[in-house]
Structure 1
Amino acid sequence: MPKRNIIYLFSFVVLLVTACKFNPNMQKPGENYLQGEWRQDTSVLQKKLVDYSLYNLRFNCDSFFVSIKTFSKANAGADSCTKNGQWTEYAKGVYQQSNDTLHVRGLFCNANYTYKEPTGCYRSGVYEEYFKVANKGDSTVQFNPTSSTIAIKAHLIKRNTCNPKPL
């Protein structure tokens, strides 16, 4: 076998071995200060807007579940999805924090955590958001979404501890 072919083969094997990695078989512990359920309160500013959303976030180890309740004063016509200007969307997935940035990525789902089909009302598919985390207190945290100018000021409803589970 020519020397050139051996070098190509060796390079390919090294690339293959270093490019592939197995997924972890256990949940990661996540951020201690986030563990639990956080609820956003309505602000006076939000009530003046045409539409706004309120977040309820739950963190367990490296996983999150979010419900986003949206209120709209805009006339959506005969749309059966908006239910008099109020509706709730759900998403679940995993999160990572790097310095002051919290990255959540998952999928839109139904209220019972099951996968949401792409048909029907509201958004479906990938849910992804970046938040700048500020003002961390014992029972308060402020999430500043990079996709919005309205901060999510949340207070702790229930604290929990992470008990990593096998995946």
Structure 2
Amino acid sequence: MMNKKGLYFSLFTFNFLLLFFSCSRLPDVQGKGETFLQGVWNQDSIANQSQLQNYVKHHFKFTCDSFYVDFTTHSKVNYYEEECFNNGVWEEHAKGTYQVRNDTLILVGDFTKSNYKQKVSGCYRNGRYVSSFKVNSWNAEKLELENLSDQTEVKLNLKEKITCVQKAL
């Protein structure tokens, strides 16, 4: 019969070994991402844009599992202080990582300055950027998304193909 110290030591050893062998170390490189997204994509036009009160054009860059996005907003309505309204045209930027789950593209990152460094204050949005798009269709030169927050179409054209070269984290 085992004494209490021996029983505790055996349980501790068993739990330690179980924990040690059940964990796996994450790789120290970024993920590969989705091959079909790799590249620079531009939204060149928006249907009926002249009749809209406001609209946003997107410019995406997908490289490995990372994304960079530039938004150009055109608005006839001033939502901001006058120095931020900029005659109804302004740019915002974000970067982060993405995942594709089934037919959904999920982007999680932060709003940034134009150089993709963290933005903590100033005009327009700052903080976390989280957005989801349904991938309606894609081929080698076109990508059609639907913004799941407002159901707007985002039709993108491939401007430059990129091959993922994973970088160390």
1:95 is aligned to 2:103: no
Count of aligned pairs: 166
Which residue of structure 1 aligns with residue 162 of structure 2?
Answer: 160
- SS of match in other structure, 1:81: helix
Identity of aligned residues (%): 37
Question: Take 1:89 and 1:7, find their aligned partners in 2: how far apart are those partners?
Answer: 58
Q: CA deviation at 1:150?
A: 1.1
- The equivalent position to 1:109 in structure 2, one of 103, 112, 116, is 112
Q: CA deviation at 1:38?
A: 0.4
Which residue of structure 2 aligns with residue 38 of structure 1?
Answer: 41
Unaligned runs of 5+ in 2: none
What TM-score do you get using the length of structure 2 for normalisation?
0.85
1:67 is aligned to 2:70: yes
RMSD: 2.5
Question: Take 2:89 and 2:14, find their aligned partners in 1: how far apart are those partners?
Answer: 57
Q: CA deviation at 1:147?
A: 0.4
What TM-score do you get using the length of structure 1 for normalisation?
0.86
**What does 1:1-167 align with in structure 2 at a 5 Å threshold?**
1=4, 22-76=25-79, 79-117=82-120, 119-167=121-169
Greater mean alpha carbon deviation, residues 47-56 or residues 16-25: 16-25
User: Which residue identity does 1:54 align to in structure 2?
Assistant: K
Q: CA deviation at 1:41?
A: 2.2
- SS of match in other structure, 1:69: strand
| Larger CA Rg, structure 1 vs 2 | 2
- SS of match in other structure, 2:84: coil
Unaligned runs of 5+ in 1: none
Q: CA deviation at 1:2?
A: 7.5
